Every structure is written in structure tokens, then in C-alpha cells.
Amino acid sequence: MGRSYFVDEAVEEYLSGLQAAPGSCVTGLLAGQSSPQRDFVVLAVQTPHRESEGQPKASRGVSPLDDIDVEWVTEHAKQVSRMLPGGLCILGLFLVTPPELSKDAQNALKRLIFAMDKYIIKGRLWELSEEDVTDRVTLHICFKTKKLVCKTFDVKDPKSSAKPADWKYQTGISSSWPMLTCSVEVDLQIPVTGSSSDNTDKCMKDGLRRWAKQIEAAYCLINGRQALDDSELISGQVKTLTPKQPIVRHCLSMSQEQSELDERSSALVQVCSGSMRVRGVVHCRAYIHNNKPKARHAAQAIKRDIINTVCSRVEMFLEDLLINEGSQKGLCSGQQALPRRVFAPMPISGLSVCDYMFPDESTADVAERLKEMLDCETPEEDIDTSLESNQLFSTVSGSEITDSHDDDSSKHVISEIQAENPKIQKAPQYYAGVAVAAAIALLATATSLLYFS
């Protein structure tokens, strides 16, 4: 018996409207939530055209399936992954073809699904749990006959063969999913050794990976108490709740004893050419299916969203530096705002997706990206930019930030890049030990669990 995929009616409507031109095919992503028993698909989005390269030029006699741009499909998956809140992930791929290409569709899907998963996990900093499912779904659709072939591949095993799976459409799958939200204050300092861009990128990933482990080890408190992992997240009173009524308060707190232990065990003496400091308040959001979720599922979803949103912004910041300051090596000292997180509703499902808006961008830019990446029209007035207030920060050199008039609760995430004085670097007495895991603080407040009817 294969896995079961329960699919929202909005996905059915979207897929039924896709058509492949004669001699061509359409690829796309399937996103939703996975659980040990079943998976829920709430979003389908086709791969956008790669306009920079124009129309693909297929050689005569070569199948269009061989001309699928694997690099572009995987890059699209990475971008969409950034736009998904906690609890949601890329579950697999779909492929729409004319009847004459159906025979070779499974081979093409297998090639794509393994390439996509390999590309996504490169940037993943949290660890898989024993309950995490490594099966990824592939859906082949013949646009003429409307026949669906649903199969799964275990991406953990490169030699795995396709297994049949059930594809079932249902109405309002996610309409009653509880939503968890929290505001997290982050103060993270990462030492940088060397000046090359490759070395900087490595230092950033190493620092973020250590920080991510601390987040995963943090306690999740419910009503001021740590909930048992196997305790029910949703009680029997859920049926009487009104829409969006908060009934449980959550708080994420670092274990001081564990933090101190990590500092002692990971202390490292190294010479640093500079450091990058990320601090501010980020808004995190996660969704949990209503099929008897446990407290550990809620804690895992919100923790992973915290890790994903901070790491995505640092990654985007470094990418932006590489584009705008490609002629310079390494990081330049100063202070710069990281993109802030904004949210937009998904059609029909009642869930929301997110995007990251740089200080020089507007909601029009966000709406354009949502159209390109998620193939959905989003009015600018529906884009919520209020959860992370946009603040102005002066550019400074050194470790102090002048920000006396800003309210800590609405502070925008900033990155402060510090470079040591070259003269000081030459002095032996300044080769001090640096505790890599030190100077990391996490405080989460105002976290609520909300329910939808």
C-alpha cells in the first residue's frame, strides 16, 4: 500500500487548467504538509518561463522531456521554499504532457525529483527527525485524456524505484488548520576568518548551523509550562471555537544550562578578520494539520520556521552583496537592513505565503514576485507588511548601533558587518580567543496558537 495524498480542491482546479502545447510539456511544484500517516497538498504552481534565455531550442528528433531545464526547475523550487511558512514544504513535482510523451514521463520525473531535493537540502540547516518522511511525490498528467499517474520516490535512496500512491481530492483541507505565530528577537554574531567571498560564505553557514542547533534544542512552553511531546495540541473543545480565536499561548525559550554547555564544548580560538552580527525581531508563522497533531509537531514547525527565515535573509543579503559589490572581496564594514518578511493570502485555502522585501522595494515588487513564482494574482492591499515594521538605521562603523528612538518590539532585522583594524590585526596581543557560540541570544514573546473554522 503506497502513501496517500489528500489534495485541496484549489489544486485540482489549477491543474485542470494547465495545458501543454503540442510537442512540449509543463513542469511544476507541489507543496503542502507531510505527516507519517498521510500528506496534504495545498499548493500547485507551474515552473515560470526563463525569459532570459528565451524559448528552448530542441534538436530535431530529441524528446522535449530531455530539454527540461533541470537547473531552472530546481532554482524555482528553492525560491518557492523560501516563500513557505513553517509546516509547509515542497512535497514533489508534477509534469503535464501530451499523450505521445507519457511513456517516458516517469524517467523525467525521477531525474527532476532527485535533482530538486538535492538542491534544496544543500541550504537546510535543521536536522531531519525520525518522523520526517523522505518520500517525494511525482504526478504525471496527460492533458488530453486527463489521466493521472501518482508515484513516489524515496529521495534518501538514489536507486529507489517508483511506488504507486493514492491521489485524492478533498474540499477545504487546510481551512481548519491551526496557525502558530511568534515574534523572535535574534542577536547573532558570527566571526569571519579570511576575506574571500567563498570563505565568508562558509563562515556564515558554519555560524548559522551552530545557531540552528541551539534553536532546535530550545524549550517550547505552553501557558508557561513545557508541554509533553506526545500531548494533544488540539483538545476536544476545538469544535466550539470561533474563527481565529487564540486559546493557547506559546513561548520559546533557550535552556540556559544547555546553552552554557554548548559554549564550553564548542569554544574555539581563532584569528578573525571581522564579524557579521544579525540582530532584530523577526515574525515567524507555522501551520499544523488537524489530524491529531502533537505538541512536538507544533514546536518542530515553529522552530524550523525561525531557522529558515533567519537563514534565508542572511543568504539573500550575501547574494545581494555579491551582485551589487561583485568587484569587492569579502564584506565591507557598515550596517545594512536585511529584507523584512511580508505575508500574502493563498487563494481559497485560507493559508498564507511570505516574501522578503528589501528596503528599496515596494509591495508592487512583492506582488510581481508572487505572480512569477507562485502564478497567482495578489492585490497589493492584501500584502501584510505590518508584522515587521520598516525602520531606518544609520550606517555605522564598529560594534555600537545608535538607535535610541526605536522601539525594540518593532525593530527591523539588521546586519552589522564589522571589520577589524588592519593595524590591530598585526598586534599579537589582539589574537584573543573567540568563543564561536557566544554572543547568541534568543527571546521569543507574544506567541499564539490560532484556529480557523
Sign of CA dihedral 316, 183, 251, 79: negative
In angstroms, the CA 99 to CA 85 distance is 36
366 or 189: whose pLDDT is higher? Answer: 366
27 vs 221, residue with greater confidence: 27
Three cell numbers written together for 414? 539588521
pLDDT exceeds cutoff 90 at 168: yes
Q: Identify the bridge partners of residue 166 per DSSP, sorted by sequence position.
A: 4
290 pLDDT band, cuts 50/70/90, is confident
- Residue closest to 420 by CA, chosen among 276, 238, 207: 276
What is the phi/psi pair of residue 78, to 5°?
A: -65, -45
For residues 149-158, average pLDDT: 93
Instruction: Summarize the confidence of residues 50-58 as an average pLDDT.
Output: 56
Q: How many other CB atoms are found less than 10 A from the CB of residue 48?
A: 15
Mean pLDDT across 139-160: 92
Rounded to 5 degrees, φ, ψ at 254 are -80, 140
How many angstroms separate the most distant Cα atoms in the chain?
Answer: 76
Q: CATH topology for 4-52+62-169?
A: Cytidine Deaminase; domain 2 (3.40.140)
Confidence category of residue 197, pLDDT binned at 50, 70, 90: low
Domain extents in the chain: 4-52+62-169, 179-235+244-256+271-382
d(CA 113, CA 250): 36
92 has pLDDT over 50: yes
80-105 average pLDDT score: 93
pLDDT confidence bin for 141, thresholds 50/70/90: very high
The mean predicted confidence, pLDDT, of the chain is 76
Contact 38, 2 (CB under 8 A): no
Prediction pTM value = 0.81
More confident residue, 272 or 411: 272
What pLDDT, on a 0 to 100 scale, did the predictor assign at position 154?
94
> 13 pLDDT band (50/70/90 cuts)?
very high
Compute the average pLDDT of residues 256-275: 59
